[in-house]
Amino acid sequence: MYSNILKNENYINSQWHATGNGKFLPVTDKYTQQEIAQVPFCTNEQMEEAIAASVTGFEELKSWSAGQRSEALEKMRVVLVEQQEEFAQLIAAEAGKPIGYARGEIARCIDTLKTAVSEALRFDGEMVPMDYNNGEGKVAFTRRFPIGPIAAISPFNFPLNLALHKIAPAIACGCSIVLKPAPQTPLVALAFAKLVDDLNCLPKGAFSVLVADIPEAEKLVRDERMKMLSFTGSPQIGWHLKNIIGKKKVALELGGNASVIVDESADLEQAAKLTAIGAYLYAGQICISTQRILVHHKVFDTFKPLLIAEVERLQVGDPRNEKVMVGPIIQPVHVQRIKEWVDEAIEGGAELLTGGKILSEENGLYAPTLLTNTKKGMKVCDLEAFGPVATLKKVDSFEQAVSISNDSTFGLQAGVFTNQFDHVKKAHEELEVGGVMINNIPGFRIDSMPYGGVKDSGLGREGIKYTMEEMTEPRLIVY
């Protein structure tokens, strides 16, 4: 199934290390709870080796031509195409991601690498207009130079593609990288390290992957030799890391509690179908999952049963079942947390429209849950649920929907279902988010687009070209 790509050792300075600090991280199948592998936690000395190696690896990689970097990325892409089913099966196991969606992730990974292959060749600076006043007769332009080694921390929910959103642009622009994958899903990142190692396509030390406990992880992000931190994960950890990393650059992608607005002109059947998928796919464990659904009062009573019907059609269960869209929650503690949040909302006056119960503690399954009559102060409204929970609210006007959507500490993406151009324009101008999806859910993403948020949702933008800009500095020349 995936045994040919499985690797349970840390990859440091182009070498595999089967031992670490004496502690091992057990990695389980998130549906069966059976252990897949154990991976050693690295030692402080091993993290030091990875950091030091990234410095020497950077010195070589930055001297490579754009063509060499592009060729290395293309080799990775070709092999990933050959091994895509094994990678998808491994994601389904260790991340609990429904197999169809896991295959979709690998397809996106292939596109991510393909985009980096071409961006490596065309990425550069700009001509700077200067032929006026004191600049008459002068020519000026910038070139972009890689800043140095990158410290990267990736999340569990897209264990390869969000790692590649750090790895691929780093290599494309000439930066070395040290990756710490999420403890729930380290095996896919280590499998990709095996792919790279087998190809022998990068300078020694330019790419390392380590499972690290908190002290070693903080060493990675604090070390002055690492010139940037690229982090995807929880707001609590992300802002903490920003406070301790000193002067280095930082990019943070920290999630949200995304809203969908459905106005009186929307195609309600299409909106209901897409919103149900957007709220509950992968048990809602996506940064841009739909969590708050705001519906105009003129269509609310029509839309509500349509949405409930779509939610109740979703199949829940074993992520290896081709028909399942809602698989297990990543850890038992989060199953209980979701139950507590939903129970708290109901006790506070919320109405349960569907779901609201644990389906299987053994398999980590929670029913797709839709609540209405919720209010500010409830966790299901104010915080990121990161589970199969959404709220449905009636609004008096499009303006009120925009105001409620903005009344959040988060601002990643939003969806707007409308056939009125003035609402399209207003949404783009006034919604406080990084991206507005028209007649689509907030979860829409193409890997080349600028992706990121405002407020507590983070800093900076992902998307290969945009990440390469973060990982480089422009240097001006005038003559």
Structural domain contains residue 452: no
Q: Could you identify the residue written with the tokens 């850890």?
A: 331
H-helix or E-strand spanning residue 58: helix 44-61
Could you report the per-residue pLDDT of 350-365, keeping only the tens digit for each? Answer: 999 999 999 999 999 9
pLDDT at 158: 98
Catalytic residue among 287, 381, 462, 469: 287
Which token pair is 401?
Answer: 């929907």
Could you report the per-residue pLDDT of 387-424, keeping only the tens digit for each? Answer: 999 999 999 999 999 999 999 999 999 999 999 999 99
Same domain, 96 and 203: yes
DSSP-assigned states of every residue in 348-390: TTPEEEE--SEEETTTTEE--EEEES--TT-HHHHS---SSEE
**Cα 271 to Cα 452: distance, rounded to the nearest angstrom:** 24
**Cα 139 to Cα 221: distance, rounded to the nearest angstrom:** 39
Q: 280: which residues sit within 8 A by CB, 6+ positions away?
A: 289, 311, 314, 325, 326, 368, 388, 390
Same domain, 189 and 280: no
Same domain, 242 and 267: no
Structural domain contains residue 92: yes
Catalytic residue among 49, 105, 216, 253: 253
User: Which phi-psi region, left, alpha or beta, contains residue 387 (left: φ > 0; alpha: ψ -120 to 50)?
Assistant: beta
CATH number, position 331: 3.40.309.10
CA distances, 435 to each of 77, 259, 288, 340, 461 (Å) = 28, 12, 10, 31, 11
Same domain, 231 and 343: no
b/e burial code for range 384-398 (CB count within 10 A of at least 16 → b)? bbbbbbbbbbbbeeb
Same domain, 296 and 166: no
Q: Which residues of the chain, if any, have pLDDT below 50?
A: none
Structural domain contains residue 161: yes
Same domain, 113 and 208: yes
**DSSP-derived 3-state class of residue 241:** helix
Structural domain contains residue 1: no
Same domain, 106 and 124: yes
**DSSP-derived 3-state class of residue 265:** coil
Structural domain contains residue 305: yes
330 within 8 A of 429, measured Cβ to Cβ: no
421 within 8 A of 399, measured Cβ to Cβ: no
pLDDT at 464: 98
92 within 8 A of 70, measured Cβ to Cβ: no
CATH number, position 182: 3.40.605.10
pLDDT at 390: 98
pLDDT at 31: 98
pLDDT at 96: 98
pLDDT at 16: 98
Tell me how many helices (H) and strands (E) the chain has.
15, 23
DSSP type of residue 43? P
Same domain, 267 and 204: no
Tally of domains in the chain: 2
Same domain, 242 and 331: no
Structural domain contains residue 20: yes
Q: For this structure, is 381 an active site residue?
A: no
CA distances, 322 to each of 54, 108, 183 (Å) = 41, 19, 26
Structural domain contains residue 3: no
Same domain, 248 and 262: no
pLDDT at 391: 98
pLDDT at 209: 98
Q: Could you identify the residue written with the tokens 């990709």?
A: 192
User: Which phi-psi region, left, alpha or beta, contains residue 162 (left: φ > 0; alpha: ψ -120 to 50)?
Assistant: alpha
153 within 8 A of 217, measured Cβ to Cβ: yes
Q: For this structure, is 109 an active site residue?
A: no
Same domain, 160 and 269: no
**Cα 301 to Cα 299: distance, rounded to the nearest angstrom:** 6
Beta-strand pair 435-438/290-296: unpaired
pLDDT at 52: 98
Which token pair is 103?
Answer: 């295959």
Domain of 127 in residue numbering reads as: 10-254+457-478
Same domain, 111 and 249: yes
Which token pair is 49?
Answer: 């080796």
**DSSP-derived 3-state class of residue 433:** coil
Beta-strand pair 10-12/35-40: unpaired
189 within 8 A of 3, measured Cβ to Cβ: no
Taking each helix axis as running N to C, give the angle between helix 421-430 and helix 398-406, from 0 to 180 degrees, rounded to the nearest 10. Answer: 20
